[in-house]
Amino acid sequence: MSDFFVIAEEELVLAFRMAGADGRAVAGRDEAVEAFRRAVGRSPDAPASRPKVLVLTEEVADMIGEEARDWQAGGGYPLIVEIPGQGPSRGGRKGLADMVREAIGISI
């Protein structure tokens, strides 16, 4: 397992894989919770090594809810980083496409 693991929509997982990160595409709460538990080692079939950084989209973090907050409060690895998903971001933040357009001037 690489140092980074992404739990997100399929397109974002593929993009992160191109950069060398492992990941799992999820479509609902049950899949998100299962992927999270495997990544942090709370599943019987979890791999022996764990990532150092776990990247979640806002949508996935909302699906997992308390489980992710409890993990963060414990202060263990992997660290959780929350990124905007493909859709509109919550809290008035820009979406991923807007940030890419702003950063490199290309509309995706």
- Give the Cβ contact number of residue 88 at 10 Å: 13
CA 23 to chain centroid, in Å, comes to 8
Give pLDDT, residue 99: 65
Give pLDDT, residue 104: 74
Give pLDDT, residue 24: 95
Residue 103: both structure tokens together: 């950063």
| Rounded CA separation 6/56 (Å) | 6
Question: Does residue 78 have a cis peptide bond before it, meaning omega lies within 30 degrees of 0?
Answer: yes
| Rounded CA separation 94/25 (Å) | 22
Residue-level pLDDT, tens digit, the chain, 108 residues: 679 999 999 999 999 999 999 999 999 999 999 999 999 988 777 777 889 999 999 899 999 988 888 888 887 888 888 888 876 666 665 666 676 677 777 665
| Rounded CA separation 50/30 (Å) | 20
